[in-house]
């Protein structure tokens, strides 16, 4: 338990007195905890979002050949790219809409809504009768995943102690590639020639996501609302009850040498969080951080969505890899992407945010540029191309995860989810939505030089992001969220 008094409201005796002043030690108590089974539950129940997204993205790429050969769909390369863009467009709008709801209604309430939308839409994708329906369902699937990003990243940041925040966030974001691995293995099995009819295997592949997510709905019922979110909405007693339950899980790990808990004074707002609050945070308080977040998100979105959504097409069109074997090449690619954040993640908490973010973006950009030149020269094979992507995305995966880490810890508590949504939406819209379609057209042209120029442009964006991170980076390592960005309601 804490060695200081719990939260108290003044003046008056009502817990939720509009514009009353409260003094609370809950944020400091959350940050002084050691890792416990509660934090493991948070990671397991919330981290599934990235697994599901990785699964969806991998399936969309790995079944591309099967969708082109499907008797009912018979999609072209451009339509494959367009369906990927529809998924990303849905993710953009879903992130923005559900991000707004997350800051108004709470983190926990949105967990079930966004995951439920994803489950229904991905199951509908498996049953799509034609291209138009497939596009709509992919859009709705993306909307569910985009909404998940905002609620999930907000809750993770607010529940995980400060000294674990960087590595935890990178590991969870990196779990995207566990989903990618599941998708790769699933497609290898389901798309094997002769195992299933040609119009059945890809449909069952999309059903994997729905099956994986059903149990998570029940698991998330065990998670509480974020105490930090409850505080800014004046629900002080609820926040204290949840805080005491969290501390009970960590009681045996408490240390007498922890720094003293410093209370935080906050004013309970009488009005709801609005876009005016977001504008104040972005353009008045932290304009440099706004530029940094936009650049980081745009660069990683273009790099990933351009390359990964169309990798299966490159394998089948340029290296004559049978569509049923694409998963064998995606699996090592996914493993490298998962290991990168795990290996590099602790350095974000020790060496620091600025040097690690700039380094991971710069190294991945340089490696991507070299890969583009080799692809254009025609010396690559399916195996060497995969090895090159493994090297590039070992670092690019950590870079992409650090973009989400940056925007989720750099802005005030009241607009955290909306900030995540805005930067995810803008970054994906500017760097990601059109990328799969553009590269689908480039691949359809059959010109390796055109594709290499696209890879080169992605490399340039990563290098620009590296320079921006070195210039505008925030030293947020091992600091409380309230220290990195004071709440708008702080007194």
Name the pairing type of β-strands 21-24 and 8-10.
antiparallel
- Rounded Cα distance, 392 and 307, in Å: 11
pLDDT of residue 433: 67
Q: What is the pTM (predicted TM-score) of this model?
A: 0.82
User: How many H-runs (helices) and E-runs (strands) does the chain carry?
Assistant: 22, 3
- Cα–Cα distances (Å) from 299 to 160, 283, 295, 303, 401, in that order, read 27, 21, 6, 6, 12
The tokens for 72 are 């009912």
The tokens for 443 are 């691949």
For the chain of 491 residues, list the mean pLDDT of each consecutive stretch of 10.
Answer: 40 48 88 89 85 78 79 82 84 88 88 87 89 92 88 87 92 85 80 79 83 80 90 90 88 52 75 80 93 94 79 85 81 89 95 97 96 92 93 95 93 90 83 71 78 90 97 93 89 70
- Rounded Cα distance, 3 and 56, in Å: 46
Range 37-224+274-480 has CATH code 3.40.710.10: no
Buried b (16+ CB within 10 A) or exposed e, 272-310: ebeeebbebbbeeebeebbebbbbbbbbbbbbbbbbbbb
pLDDT of residue 323: 74
Q: Are 154 and 301 in contact (CB under 8 A)?
A: no
Q: For the chain, what are the domain ranges? A: 37-224+274-480
Q: Are 398 and 351 in contact (CB under 8 A)?
A: no
- pLDDT tens by residue, 395-432: 999 999 999 999 999 999 889 888 988 998 888 777 76
């Amino acid at each position: 338990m804490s060695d200081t008094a719990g939260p108290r409201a003044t003046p008056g005796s009502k817990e939720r007195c509009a514009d009353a002043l409260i003094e609370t030690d809950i944020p400091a108590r959350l940050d002084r905890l050691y890792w416990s089974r509660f934090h493991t539950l948070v990671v397991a129940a919330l981290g599934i979002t990235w697994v599901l997204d990785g699964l969806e993205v991998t399936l969309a790429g790995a079944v591309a050949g099967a969708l082109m050969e499907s008797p009912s769909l018979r999609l072209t390369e451009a339509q494959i790219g367009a369906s990927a863009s529809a998924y990303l467009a849905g993710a953009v709008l879903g992130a923005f809409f559900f991000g707004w709801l997350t800051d108004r209604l709470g983190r926990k309430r949105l967990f079930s809504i966004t995951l439920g939308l994803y489950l229904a839409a991905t199951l509908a994708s498996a049953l799509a009768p034609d291209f138009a329906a497939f596009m709509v369902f992919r859009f709705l699937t993306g909307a569910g995943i985009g909404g998940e990003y905002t609620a999930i990243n907000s809750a993770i940041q607010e529940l995980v102690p400060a000294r674990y925040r960087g590595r935890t966030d990178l590991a969870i974001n990196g779990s995207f590639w566990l989903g990618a691995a599941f998708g790769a293995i699933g497609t290898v099995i389901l798309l094997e020639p002769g195992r299933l009819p040609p119009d059945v295997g890809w449909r069952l592949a999309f059903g994997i996501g729905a099956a994986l997510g059903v149990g998570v709905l029940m698991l998330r019922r065990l998670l509480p609302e974020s105490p930090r979110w409850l505080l800014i909405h004046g629900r002080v007693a609820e926040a204290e009850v949840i805080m005491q339950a969290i501390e009970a899980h960590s009681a045996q790990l408490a240390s007498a040498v922890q720094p003293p808990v410093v209370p935080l004074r906050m004013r309970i707002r009488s009005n709801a969080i609005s876009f005016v609050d977001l504008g104040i945070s972005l353009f008045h308080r932290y304009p440099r951080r706004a530029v940094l977040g936009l650049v980081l998100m745009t660069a990683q979105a273009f790099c990933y969505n351009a390359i990964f959504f169309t990798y299966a097409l490159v394998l089948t069109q340029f290296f004559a890899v049978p569509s049923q074997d694409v998963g064998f090449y995606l699996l090592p690619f996914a493993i490298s992407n998962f290991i990168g954040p795990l290996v590099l993640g602790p350095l974000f908490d020790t060496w620091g945010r600025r040097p690690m973010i700039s380094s991971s973006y710069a190294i991945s950009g340089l490696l991507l540029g070299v890969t583009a030149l080799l692809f254009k020269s025609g010396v690559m094979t399916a195996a060497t191309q995969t090895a090159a992507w493994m090297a590039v995305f070992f670092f690019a995966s950590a870079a992409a995860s650090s973009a989400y880490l940056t925007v989720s810890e750099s802005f005030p508590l009241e607009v955290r989810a909306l900030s995540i949504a805005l930067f995810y939406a803008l970054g994906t819209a500017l760097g990601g939505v059109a990328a799969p379609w553009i590269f689908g057209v480039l691949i359809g042209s059959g010109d390796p030089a055109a594709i290499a120029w696209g890879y080169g442009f992605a490399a340039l964006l990563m290098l620009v992001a590296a320079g921006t991170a070195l210039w505008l980076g925030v030293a947020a390592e091992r600091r409380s969220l309230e220290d990195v960005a004071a709440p708008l309601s702080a007194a």
